[in-house]
């Protein structure tokens, strides 16, 4: 029962690194003009798009309980951004580590099943930098969201500081950036921007 709850059978222990976080690949993935949220993946008729999990956690908690059920569905798409389990500033540190672990484990499992998964970088305050970038293979493609980061000066500065730390540690060749861009110097990194359709619709209606 414990093994089932922790998904310990998904990946051999010897395929993990620091904090026993699974090691995930960052190989180049096919490009796509747009991303759809996971909660539309079952009914979407297009196959030339990517899938993202930058939505409320409750809408994809089921992938943690049964990740094997979504392998064939997700294989249809150009690529998948890894599950983005939330890291809130006021969460206990243990919960933050747990959510990074869950994202890494599902990413590693799906990659082994042939799904093209782009690891998602998640961080909160600087104390999370000790673990939040571990397990991600340097030098490849990663995904990042700016949702909530522009809320105020503090969250914007935390996002910028974390992004700088991620670049220093992982040296990504490409970043898939979801959400409204934040003024940040990415240097020579290839950045592909994807907009949040919901926010753009609200902005267009003056909301």
Q: Which two tokens stand for residue 195?
A: 């907009």
Predicted local distance difference test score (pLDDT) of residue 162? 97
* Block residue for tokens 């500081």: 161
Predicted local distance difference test score (pLDDT) of residue 201? 38
> Which sequence spans correspond to the domains of the chain?
49-204
Predicted local distance difference test score (pLDDT) of residue 5? 77
Predicted local distance difference test score (pLDDT) of residue 206? 40
The phi-psi region of residue 92 (left if phi > 0; otherwise alpha if psi is between -120 and 50; otherwise beta) is beta
Give this prediction's pTM: 0.91
Predicted local distance difference test score (pLDDT) of residue 3? 52
- Following CA atoms 155, 157, 159, 164 in sequence, which dihedral angle do they give, to the nearest 10 degrees? -170
Measured CA to CA in angstroms, residue 150 lies from 33, 69, 133 at distances of: 24, 35, 21
Predicted local distance difference test score (pLDDT) of residue 115? 97
Residues of the chain with pLDDT under 50: 1-2, 198-207
């Amino acid at each position: 029962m414990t093994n089932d709850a922790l998904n310990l059978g998904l990946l051999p222990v010897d395929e993990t690194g620091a904090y026993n976080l699974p090691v995930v690949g960052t190989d180049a993935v096919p490009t796509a003009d747009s991303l759809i949220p996971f909660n539309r993946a079952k009914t979407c008729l297009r196959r030339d798009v990517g899938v993202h999990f930058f939505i409320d956690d409750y809408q994809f908690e089921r992938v943690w309980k049964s990740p094997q059920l979504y392998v064939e569905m997700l294989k249809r798409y150009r690529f998948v951004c890894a599950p983005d389990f939330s890291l809130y500033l006021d969460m206990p540190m243990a919960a933050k580590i747990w959510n990074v672990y869950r994202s890494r484990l599902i990413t590693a499992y799906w990659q082994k099943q042939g799904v093209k998964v782009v690891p998602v970088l998640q961080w909160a305050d600087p104390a999370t930098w000790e673990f939040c970038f571990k397990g991600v293979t340097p030098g490849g493609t990663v995904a990042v969201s700016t949702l909530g980061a522009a809320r105020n000066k503090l969250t914007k500065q935390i996002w910028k500081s974390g992004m700088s730390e991620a670049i220093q540690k992982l040296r990504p060749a490409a970043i898939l950036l979801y959400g409204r861009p934040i003024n940040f110097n990415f240097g020579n990194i290839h950045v592909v921007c994807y907009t949040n359709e919901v926010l753009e619709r609200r902005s267009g209606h003056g909301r």
